Every structure is written in structure tokens, then in C-alpha cells.
């Protein structure tokens, strides 16, 4: 089931979780953020996006 979902996401141009984790790890490394700082930034940006800002 997981493989079917992942394949469907890839067909729609959505990166699979492994790729997403890799992208996040690279971004966090280059930004030199701690895990807590990265999480706070992600939560903040998600909230702003959901509020339409």
C-alpha cells in the first residue's frame, strides 16, 4: 500500500518522504539551525501559510 501511495505522489510531482527528509536535512545544515530552531521555523511558516500570509 505504501509503495502505491508513494508512486501516486511521485506521478503528481510530490517528493517521496526520503527525498523530503534529505532536502530538510540539507536546508537545516546550511542554515545552521538546531533541531528546535528548525522546528520552530517550520511551525511558524506553516501557520503563516495557513493564515494566507
3-class SS letters over the chain: CHHHHHHHHHHCCCCCHHHHHHHHHHHHHHHCCCHHHHHHHHHHHHHHHHCCC
- Of residues 10 and 44, more confidently modeled: 44
pLDDT tens, position by position, 5-31: 777 777 877 766 666 677 777 777 788
pLDDT above 70: residue 48 = yes
Count other C-beta atoms under 10 Å from residue 51's C-beta. Answer: 7
d(CA 35, CA 24): 11
For residue 43, what pLDDT is reported? Answer: 85
* pTM higher than 0.85: no
Amino acid at each position: 500500500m505504501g509503495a502505491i501511495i508513494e508512486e501516486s505522489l511521485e506521478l503528481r510531482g510530490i517528493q517521496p518522504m526520503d527525498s523530503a527528509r534529505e532536502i530538510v536535512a540539507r536546508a537545516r545544515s546550511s542554515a545552521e539551525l538546531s533541531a528546535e530552531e528548525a522546528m520552530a521555523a517550520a511551525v511558524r511558516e506553516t501557520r503563516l501559510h495557513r493564515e494566507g500570509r
